[in-house]
Amino acid sequence: MKQFKNILLVYDNTEAGQFTLSRAIDLAKQNQAKLTVIQVISKIPHDYHMLSTSVSNNEISKLVSKEHTLLLENAVAHFPETSHIKCKVIMGREFIEIIKEVLRNKHDLVIKAACGLGGRLGMLFGSTAMHLLRKCPCPVWLIKPGQTHAFRQIMAAVDVAPLENDETVLNTQIMELAGSLTRMDKGNLHIVHAWNWVTPDIQHMIPKDIVNVPEQIKNIHAGWLEDLLQQCDLQNLQYQKHVVQGRADEIIPDFAEQHQIDIVVMGTLSRTGIPGFFIGNTAEKILHRMNCSVLAVKPDGFISPVLLD
């Protein structure tokens, strides 16, 4: 994944947090990238409240920051050759401080462990993760709790259309990341495109005397997918193509579950989305049903609503 040169890891002291730290360190080493590990403290820990009568809030914040910085440095020190990694503790609302850190230091990837329940019990991605998916200007990699092995089954979810369509650049980014991750983990790549009946894009392409309209439509979408893949580097990749009829917000999560996908690489802005929304409606629905790790990409030129002070 050579395009990432300035990685930001959001650390939490859990088993999932340890795996994300290990993953980020490996990625930084492979790409000779800078790595910053941060922990965001949203409120003063309860143990410190007894000091509030004798110590100012500012001094308490400094004590909390110093203590957690030492814990963070100790966690990083368990790994070899990590003296170059920068550790930082920040006070504030988590998603806002993460995005500000991205903007301030021009990070090109955020890695974080997902904190939701997942499965049939509830959403895998909590409020902080969803805020990042909606508003963080760089790619966001959310790793499912319990993920302690390499990503063997990888999905690239693409929304193909004629090559002159604006989605082409985003699809190319998705394919580059998914292909790079597949090579890095020596995995198997599933390239998935969901299509749903006749759209204005292709209605004029279907002759009126065609009997098997669904098959004709599928062939058009398969052709668009081939056009996209002609622009992608697929050398030394083990991959399969899937052009599946149905709504993307149903097909993508169902396919991920049926094929035991470890990670989905996808865009978070849809060409069918409403201008001004920070995340496409289809992408939002997919993420609400997802039960695996996700690497989410936004198109070039996306501007976060979160601003530096």
pLDDT digits (tens, 9 = 90+) for 79-137: 887 778 999 999 999 999 999 999 999 999 999 998 765 544 457 888 899 999 999 99
39 and 53, same domain (yes or no): yes
Total number of domains constituting the chain: 2
pTM, rounded to two decimals: 0.87
Are 286 and 252 in contact by the 8 Å Cβ rule? The answer is yes
- Domain that residue 123 falls in: 1-148
104 and 193, same domain (yes or no): no
Boundary residue ending a domain (133, 148, 163): 148
Can you state the angle between helices 248-258 and 281-289, rounded to 10 degrees?
30
45 and 182, same domain (yes or no): no
Burial state string for 10-25 with b = 16 or more CB within 10 A and e = fewer than 16: bbeeeebbbbbbebbb
Boundary residue ending a domain (107, 130, 148): 148
pLDDT digits (tens, 9 = 90+) for 250-289: 999 999 999 999 999 999 874 444 444 456 788 889 999 9
165 and 277, same domain (yes or no): yes
Please give the residue that has the higher pLDDT: either 104 or 14.
104
Kindly indicate the confidence band of residue 175, based on its pLDDT and cuts at 50, 70 and 90. Answer: very high
241 and 175, same domain (yes or no): yes
Boundary residue ending a domain (130, 148, 166): 148
112 and 129, same domain (yes or no): yes
6 and 142, same domain (yes or no): yes
pLDDT of residue 165: 60
Please give the residue that has the higher pLDDT: either 15 or 179.
179
Query: pLDDT at residue 174 above 90?
Result: yes
74 and 44, same domain (yes or no): yes
Report the CATH number at residue 215. Answer: 3.40.50.12370
Kindly indicate the confidence band of residue 212, based on its pLDDT and cuts at 50, 70 and 90. Answer: low
135 and 174, same domain (yes or no): no
Report the CATH number at residue 104. Answer: 3.40.50.620
pLDDT of residue 17: 81
Q: Which H or E element spans position 258?
A: helix 248-258
The closest of 273, 299, 8, 81 to 170, measured between CA atoms, is 299
**DSSP of 184-235, one letter per residue?**
HHT-EEEEEEEE-S--HHHHTTS-TT-S-HHHHHHHHHHHHHHHHHHTS--T
Give the chain's largest Cα–Cα span.
Answer: 85
123 and 160, same domain (yes or no): no
Are 261 and 292 in contact by the 8 Å Cβ rule? The answer is yes
176 and 100, same domain (yes or no): no
Q: What is the mean pLDDT of residues 222-236?
A: 92
70 and 165, same domain (yes or no): no
The share of the chain scoring above pLDDT 90, in percent, equals 49
Q: What is the mean pLDDT of residues 50-64?
A: 68
Are 138 and 107 in contact by the 8 Å Cβ rule? The answer is yes
Q: How far apart are CA 160 and CA 243, in angstroms?
A: 10
pLDDT of residue 87: 94
Kindly indicate the confidence band of residue 1, based on its pLDDT and cuts at 50, 70 and 90. Answer: low
Query: pLDDT at residue 294 above 90?
Result: yes
